[in-house]
Amino acid sequence: MKVLVVGGAGYIGSHMSKCLVRNGHQVVVLDDLSTGYRSAVRYGALIEGSIGNPDCLNRVFGEHAFDAVMHFASFIQVGESVREPARYYRNNLANTQNLLDAMREHGAGNFVFSSTAAIFGEPAQVPIDEGVPSAPINPYGRSKWMVEQMLADYEHAYGLQSVCLRYFNAAGADPEGELGERHDPETHLIPLVLQAASGRRPAISVFGTDYDTPDGTCIRDYVHVDDLCAAHLLALQRLWQGGGSGRYNLGNGNGFSVREVIDTARRVTGRDIPLRFEPRRAGDPARLVADSGRARRELGWQPARGDLETIIADAWRWELAYPWR
Catalytic (active-site) positions: 140
Residue 16: beta bridge partners? none
Class of residue 42 by CB neighbours under 10 A (exposed 0-12, middle 13-18, buried 19+): middle
Give the integer Cα–Cα distance in Å for 229 and 212: 33
Contacts with 242 (C-beta within 8 Å, 6 or more apart), sequence order: none
Residue 5: beta bridge partners? 29, 70
CA 231 to chain centre: 12
Class of residue 104 by CB neighbours under 10 A (exposed 0-12, middle 13-18, buried 19+): middle
88 phi and psi, to 5 degrees?
-75, -45
Largest CA distance in the chain: 56
Contacts with 230 (C-beta within 8 Å, 6 or more apart), sequence order: 19, 301, 303, 304
Residue 171: beta bridge partners? 224
Contacts with 24 (C-beta within 8 Å, 6 or more apart), sequence order: none
Residue 220: beta bridge partners? 256, 288
129 phi and psi, to 5 degrees?
-100, 180
Give the integer Cα–Cα distance in Å for 133 and 78: 20
Give the integer Cα–Cα distance in Å for 141 and 89: 10
